[in-house]
Structure 1
Amino acid sequence: MKVIITDCDHESMDIEEKIFADAGIEMELKQAFSEDEVIEQCQDGDIFIVQYANITEKVMDHCPKLKYVVRYGVGVDTVDVPAATSRGIQVGNVPDYGMNEVADHAIALALALSRKIVKMDAFTKDEKWDYIESIPVHRFSEQTVGVVGLGRIGRNFAKKMNGLGFRVIGTDPYFHATRETEEYLTAVSMDEVIEQSDIISLHCPADGNKDLFNEETFKKMKNTAVLINVARGGIINENDLEQALTKGEIGGAALDCMVGEPVGTDSPLFKHKNVIVTPHMAWYSEEAAKELKRKVAEESVRFAKGEPIHYPINKVS
């Protein structure tokens, strides 16, 4: 089988090249993003490794050799999974490569907002040395953290936040509590998370959760509560968020994921001093980046050799 990396912005492909060379599998790197570019450049590929390219129904119909699509990352929103399933094309991802990094980034954002680090850094440098501007700040043990989405990353985040002293509640329609999770997390309804939490952190997929946090949601939140998004753009209605911040309906937000990435510096959300933004980097550490590259290549080799892959998204006959 032939592997085509449809697109990739990594500095080096040394890890992938070695794994495929050792397995005796041919690999080519393209820079195809649109449907037409993928169709034009990748027709002879049996396996696609995808970073940003759109693998649509049209692409699949024009790439008849395609048997497996695996993503550099967790989300597969650029792949038409139902269309792939109906055509017998396997889809996969790497859901665990940056699990600690994403959880840790959400924690860093949550603590920065809770302790008003960014605000007070700017105030101290630009105005004066005076903690009064930070009032009020509350003890961690007096605050409730709500987690929306209790998969690998959400549970990792919840356990660590509990270890810092926060009361942690969470919601997920697919979550089943165990004796271990009950030690650091209480499962509740979505409404309870929205209404009780001082910090809400999103760890759910975008699929099925578009505009989950919107005008109505913000009105139900505490006006001191802050919202963290390290999941996907689109889960938060950003126009409604901007209005909620302007009206003082919530206390702040920290966004690692936004709609229409890369986002320009003219975003109206960026003018708010109680908003922290990072450029979709929660997944990143040097170690996570290498792990992702290795696992994507190893999954491709397993599929090419007829072995079970570790991270299937769909079931194909």
Structure 2
Amino acid sequence: MGQLTVAVTDYGFPNLDPEEGVLRPIGFEFVTGQCKSAEEVAVLCKDADAILTQWAPITSDVIHRLTRCKIIVRYGIGVDNVDLEAARACNIPVVNVPDYAIQEVSDHTLSLMLSIVRKIPQVVNQVRDGQWQIAPCRPIIGLRDRVIGTAGFGNIARAVIHRAKAFGLRAIAYDPYVPDELFEELGVEKVDWDSLLGMSDILSLHLPLTEGTRHIINQDSLKKMKPTAYIVNTSRGGIIQTDALIDALHNGVIAGAALDVLETEPIAKDSPLLRMEQCLITSHCAWYSEDSLLLLQRYAALEIRRLFSGEKPLHIVNKVIAG
């Protein structure tokens, strides 16, 4: 195999040693950037054989200016920074890495759930302020026999449900793309969208961001939820219409929300969400552990190696036949 080039548009890792360990032995050299604009991406990637990208915009214009690209790999699960249709039209497979941080994201989801339901941050702050109450921050609901509902029933949602059952929660899920047999096998009740909203005491979101899911949590859907219900989101911020959530929390339409992802990141310092005790926000960090970081880098590089070794990548998301 002759000299090949992989362009890394942007990355937040300490180094690219895992990728280099996978790809240099089969003839790849690396060109790297920290691209913010589509133009920067186009210049860096024009003659690349493969692209690794984290957050940089891979727009239709960028894709149509590529001369040699055979694959685009997104570091992570979501691919909303890549124009999938333009890549499909150019027969370039877009590949994600959905299996690198299942444990971390599901652990973080349960951590947010427990924190918001048990009101842990509020109690900690009270103790720091010298208030010692053995039944603080009333009301706090018990979890046993409550209903956790997941929007989506993929790997992470199933891992969340597995953990939640240990707390005595009953599980329901909405996912029209998953066969009934899998729900039955895992002992989870399959429900429609309105039933998910109306039945869930804790609604955990595990959806990709698409035109169909953007703002799927809006004023109308929030009104269908129990006033005692909580929302947890570790998937994509754009699934929730922010203004509708602010109004719902302010007016007691739901009891609370715990969010690792926002429509706009980082969150504005003057956001009302930051001043609400019934809202917890973490910094899009659910995916992170030192272990998952290395897996993400290695798994992304392995998808490129598969393609250039005559195999089919494992996780093509735009219906292109490759290999």
TM-score (norm 1): 0.96
Identity %: 38
Secondary structure, aligned partner of 1:134: coil
Assess if the C-alpha contact under 8 Å between 1:159 and 1:185 holds in 2.
no
Q: Tell me whether 1:133 sits opposite 2:156 in the alignment.
A: no
Opposite residue 243 of structure 2, the aligned amino acid is N
Q: Tell me whether 1:257 sits opposite 2:256 in the alignment.
A: no
Opposite residue 18 of structure 1, the aligned amino acid is G
For residues 212 and 223 of structure 1, the distance between their equivalents in structure 2, rounded to whole angstroms, comes to 18
Unaligned ranges ≥5, structure 2? none
For residues 179 and 51 of structure 1, the distance between their equivalents in structure 2, rounded to whole angstroms, comes to 32
Query: How far is the alpha carbon of 1:274 from its aligned partner?
Result: 1.0
For residues 80 and 137 of structure 1, the distance between their equivalents in structure 2, rounded to whole angstroms, comes to 44
Q: Number of matched residues?
A: 317
Q: Tell me whether 1:40 sits opposite 2:43 in the alignment.
A: yes
Given the alignment, which residue of 293, 301, 316 partners 1:289? 293
Opposite residue 110 of structure 2, the aligned amino acid is I
Which residue does 2:157 correspond to in 1?
A: 154
Assess if the C-alpha contact under 8 Å between 2:183 and 2:189 holds in 1.
no
The residue correspondences of 1:272-311 to structure 2 (distance < 5 A) are 272-311=276-315
Of 56-65 and 127-136, more deviation after overlay is shown by 127-136
Opposite residue 152 of structure 1, the aligned amino acid is N
Query: How far is the alpha carbon of 1:182 from its aligned partner?
Result: 4.4
Sort the Cα spacing of 1:74 and 1:250 in 2 relative to 1 into closer, same or farther, 3 A: same
For residues 209 and 315 of structure 2, the distance between their equivalents in structure 1, rounded to whole angstroms, comes to 19
Which residue does 2:252 correspond to in 1?
A: 248
Given the alignment, which residue of 79, 95, 99 partners 1:96? 99
For residues 180 and 219 of structure 1, the distance between their equivalents in structure 2, rounded to whole angstroms, comes to 27
TM-score (norm 2): 0.94
In the TM superposition, what whole-angstrom CA distance separates every residue of 1:89-119 from its partner, at most 9, and x where no partner exists?
A: 1110101100111111111101111111111
Sort the Cα spacing of 1:25 and 1:183 in 2 relative to 1 into closer, same or farther, 3 A: closer
Unaligned ranges ≥5, structure 1? none
Which residue does 1:170 correspond to in 2?
A: 173
Query: How far is the alpha carbon of 1:305 from its aligned partner?
Result: 2.4
For residues 19 and 183 of structure 1, the distance between their equivalents in structure 2, rounded to whole angstroms, comes to 36
Query: How far is the alpha carbon of 1:189 from its aligned partner?
Result: 1.3
For residues 152 and 126 of structure 1, the distance between their equivalents in structure 2, rounded to whole angstroms, comes to 41
Of 135-144 and 89-98, more deviation after overlay is shown by 135-144
Which residue does 2:32 correspond to in 1?
A: 29
For residues 186 and 45 of structure 2, the distance between their equivalents in structure 1, rounded to whole angstroms, comes to 49
Secondary structure, aligned partner of 2:298: helix
For residues 163 and 180 of structure 1, the distance between their equivalents in structure 2, rounded to whole angstroms, comes to 18
Secondary structure, aligned partner of 1:266: coil
Which residue does 2:7 correspond to in 1?
A: 4
Q: Tell me whether 1:19 sits opposite 2:31 in the alignment.
A: no
Opposite residue 209 of structure 1, the aligned amino acid is T
Assess if the C-alpha contact under 8 Å between 1:20 and 1:27 holds in 2.
no
Sort the Cα spacing of 1:183 and 1:2 in 2 relative to 1 into closer, same or farther, 3 A: closer
Sort the Cα spacing of 1:110 and 1:17 in 2 relative to 1 into closer, same or farther, 3 A: same
In the TM superposition, what whole-angstrom CA distance separates every residue of 1:54-75 from its partner, at most 9, and x where no partner exists?
A: 1111001212222210000011
Q: Tell me whether 1:239 sits opposite 2:248 in the alignment.
A: no
Query: How far is the alpha carbon of 1:179 from its aligned partner?
Result: 6.4
Query: How far is the alpha carbon of 1:53 from its aligned partner?
Result: 1.1
Which residue does 1:268 correspond to in 2?
A: 272
For residues 209 and 287 of structure 1, the distance between their equivalents in structure 2, rounded to whole angstroms, comes to 30
For residues 313 and 285 of structure 1, the distance between their equivalents in structure 2, rounded to whole angstroms, comes to 25
Secondary structure, aligned partner of 1:234: helix
